[in-house]
């Protein structure tokens, strides 16, 4: 049984990764961590694990590699889509996947690292192909501004109630909009929607842009009231 520690601040990505890996009978997720302290504690508590961690957590790579070596564990880096895999492999980590990794590639990476091999992503990532760019562009252009706001908040891990509060509407209205979004994207639930968005570069960029604007609006509210 391969023990997996997931460390990532993005709840949606953790949930999607756990969903994919749970389908493998030889894999058991023993810890999910949202920050570096929890990750370091989990590595110490569960030696001999495969640690799938986000580069966005910005760990001290030398310290982390030393901790992995002393606990007989192996690290797989979740890199952002605009990064390169080579730098992490040169630092001694056993595998690299990107945010837009497919479920099949993620499972393949974990199996390879568990077998003692080193795994690197193919040079041509799926989300960088013209066809995938067209899919992301087409969906982005079909979504209304309000639907895109909802998508952006779902990618951030917000629940319907929180989205309704942020957009000054009701949960039922959000559910109605979600049904429309599901139809336009071809997904069946919010987790699939978040992963679909992450996997399509153009759509992910649009959602990130809208999400940044929503965060700025939220941060400005107290100042506006004052």
Kindly state the average pLDDT of the residues 167-176.
95
Q: What is the pLDDT of residue 73?
A: 97
Q: For the chain, how many residues are written?
A: 226
In angstroms, the Cα distances linking 214 to 103, 148, 173, 204, 219 are 30, 11, 19, 15, 9
Q: What is the pLDDT of residue 172?
A: 96
For the cut 70, the answer to whether the pLDDT of residue 183 exceeds it is: yes
Q: Which residues contact 41 (CB under 8 A, 6 or more apart)?
A: 33
Residues 23-73 have pLDDT tens digits of 888 899 999 999 999 999 999 999 999 999 999 999 999 999 999 999 999
Residues 101-157 have pLDDT tens digits of 877 788 899 999 999 999 987 753 444 444 446 888 999 999 999 999 999 999 887
For the cut 90, the answer to whether the pLDDT of residue 219 exceeds it is: no
The C-alpha atoms of residue 174 and residue 193 are separated, in whole angstroms, by 14
Kindly state the average pLDDT of the residues 84-91.
87
Q: Which residues pair with 52 in a beta bridge?
A: 6, 76
The C-alpha atoms of residue 56 and residue 10 are separated, in whole angstroms, by 10
Q: What is the pLDDT of residue 209?
A: 87
Q: What is the pLDDT of residue 37?
A: 96
Q: Would you give the DSSP letter of residue 212?
A: H
The C-alpha atoms of residue 193 and residue 187 are separated, in whole angstroms, by 6
Residues 193-207 have pLDDT tens digits of 888 887 787 888 888
Q: What is the pLDDT of residue 133?
A: 61
Evaluate if pTM is beyond 0.75.
no
Q: Which residues contact 42 (CB under 8 A, 6 or more apart)?
A: 5, 7, 30, 31, 33, 49, 51
Domains of the chain: 2-126 (3.40.50.2300), 129-225 (1.10.10.10)
């Amino acid at each position: 049984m391969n023990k997996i520690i997931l460390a990532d601040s993005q709840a949606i990505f953790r949930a999607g990764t756990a969903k994919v890996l749970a389908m493998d009978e030889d894999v058991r997720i023993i810890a999910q961590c949202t920050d570096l302290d929890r990750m370091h504690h989990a590595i110490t508590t569960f030696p001999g694990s495969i640690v799938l961690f986000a580069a966005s957590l910005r760990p001290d790579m030398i310290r982390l590699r030393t901790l992995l070596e002393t606990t007989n564990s192996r690290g797989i880096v979740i890199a952002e889509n605009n990064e390169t895999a080579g730098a992490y492999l040169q630092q001694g980590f056993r595998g690299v996947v990107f945010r837009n990794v497919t479920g099949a590639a993620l499972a393949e990476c974990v199996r390879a690292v568990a077998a003692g091999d080193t795994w690197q992503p193919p040079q041509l990532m799926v989300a960088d192909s013209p066809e995938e760019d067209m899919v992301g562009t087409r969906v982005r252009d079909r979504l209304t501004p309000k639907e895109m706001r909802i998508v952006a908040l779902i990618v951030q891990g917000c629940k319907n109630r929180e989205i309704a509060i942020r957009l000054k509407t009701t949960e039922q209205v959000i559910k109605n909009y979600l049904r429309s979004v599901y139809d336009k994207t071809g997904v069946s639930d919010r987790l699939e929607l978040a992963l679909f968005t992450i996997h399509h570069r153009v759509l992910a960029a649009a959602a990130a842009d809208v999400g940044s604007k929503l965060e700025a609006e939220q941060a400005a509210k107290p100042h506006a009231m004052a």
